[in-house]
Amino acid sequence: MLEQIRSLQPTVHKAVNPYPSLPIDSEHASMTVNQGAIRSVYLITSYFGIEEPSNAIYGVKFKHGGGVTHEPPVIGLVDRFYEGEEYEIIRMEAAHIFNRSKLYILAQSGGYIIDTKTMSRCSSFPLPRAYKSIQNVVSAYDKLYCLAIRSSFNSITDPSLERYDPDKNVWEELPSYQFYNPTFITGYTVCYGIILFSLCGGEKENCHVLAFHISRNQWKQVEVDTSVDYAPFQRRAVVVGKTIYSLRMNEFIAFSFRMDKGDDGSIVYSLSQLFILQDLEIVRPPLPFDMESEYLVHLGNHDFFHVKTGRCFDKAEYLCITTFQIVVGEGERYMIKTINSTVHSVDLECAAYFDLVLCFMT
């Protein structure tokens, strides 16, 4: 089954790039779904509550496209690896660079690279200076960006942003931004040559969005619509055309991002909520989740893959996997069409629970 998963590749078409100096970020390129085609998504997980923290890669293979299907996806363990020392918990981070077919893992023992065509380690790379304080690793335009900010979980005094160039195998320190403290990153997205970070300080009024312009190496705060009284992005939000899609609990939210010229000639960034869809039908696990984590993956067109898990105090942890589409219904209103939703159990093997670190399609 794993060999079948590895052999699958989506069809990727070029999209219009508002910044010709930058390559298209293939994570958000416009993809066409072949009806009834076999798709593969990989789940990167971290296990906790055991003496030797471990991480695992799972492959999910499923048929997608067309009408509603009751054919369940097939899940298999691709690899498992152990990192870290007992009682020292530093979350593993990972990012996928589509054009290189490489998965970049940042762990306590160092950085290493997995070839996603063979799902085997192929080389290593250096860790960034502020690795132990990193809250997010972002892949954008064939490079990695690592953001470290002050929070209640670390003692960092100055925020930092570093960029890794795989061709040169070096990290470059970029301009920092004086983030609101304490705070944490809830999610991000990449569009128009910009990385948008969604941050929250624990209260609604402390949620805000910051933009980092990649070619200008410039930070700027984003003006957010007053109707958005929450952190807009959870994990990596998906860009389809001119629309940003994000998850919030069981809500599927669409946003519009604009760049306008201000009165002083500077660029003004703004984020507006377009609509909220609440019809995503996710099958319930046998036991209720605690400490939930979820991820959204774009399959092409307006097709999506959603996975959710959480601690449930059992010998197994459950994965709720749902595929769905955004369609136009009666009255020209957008609505969710659920294709399939299933629950799968994963043996915890003496661990307390595992968390989703990254999900991506090859």
Structure-block tokens of residue 47:
């296990």
Q: Which amino acid is residue 331, in one-letter code?
A: G
CA-CA-CA-CA torsion for 190, 111, 85, 313, nearest 10 degrees?
A: 40
**CA 203/CA 284 separation, integer angstroms:** 29
**3-state SS, one letter per residue, for 182-198:** CCEEEEEEEECCEEEEE
DSSP 31: B
Residue 14 CB neighbours (<10 A): 9
**26 SS3 class:** helix
DSSP 131: G
Q: Which residue would you say has higher pLDDT here, 89 or 45? A: 45
* Side-by-side strand order, sheet with 290-300: 290-300, 303-311, 316-328, 334-347
DSSP 229: -
Residue 77 CB neighbours (<10 A): 12
Q: Which CATH superfamily is 2-361 part of?
A: Kelch-type beta propeller (2.120.10.80)
Residue 88 has a pLDDT of 43
Q: For residue 310, what are the CA distances in angstroms to 32, 42, 318?
A: 32, 17, 7
**CA 221/CA 198 separation, integer angstroms:** 11
Structure-block tokens of residue 40:
């593969």
Residue spans per domain, the chain = 2-361
- pLDDT per residue as tens digits for the range 348-358: 776 677 889 99
Residue 303 has a pLDDT of 92
**CA 148/CA 131 separation, integer angstroms:** 8
Contact 37/61 with Cβ under 8 angstroms? no
Residue 138 has φ and ψ, to the nearest 5°, of -120, 135
- pLDDT per residue as tens digits for the range 269-284: 999 999 999 878 888 8
- The CA radius of gyration of the chain, in Å to the nearest whole number, is 20
Q: Which residue would you say has higher pLDDT here, 86 or 326? A: 326
Q: Residue 120: beta bridge partners? A: 115
Helices (H) and strands (E) in the chain, counts: 1, 26
What is the arithmetic mean of pLDDT over 233-259? 91
- pLDDT per residue as tens digits for the range 83-131: 654 434 456 789 999 889 999 998 877 898 999 998 888 999 999 887 6
DSSP string spanning 61-126?
EEEESSS------EEEEEEEEE-S-TT-----EEEEEGGGTEEEEEETTEEEEEETTTTEEEEEEP
Q: What is the pTM of this model?
A: 0.84
Q: Please say if the pLDDT value at position 31 is more than 70.
A: no
On the 0-12 / 13-18 / 19+ scale of CB atoms within 10 A, 72 is middle
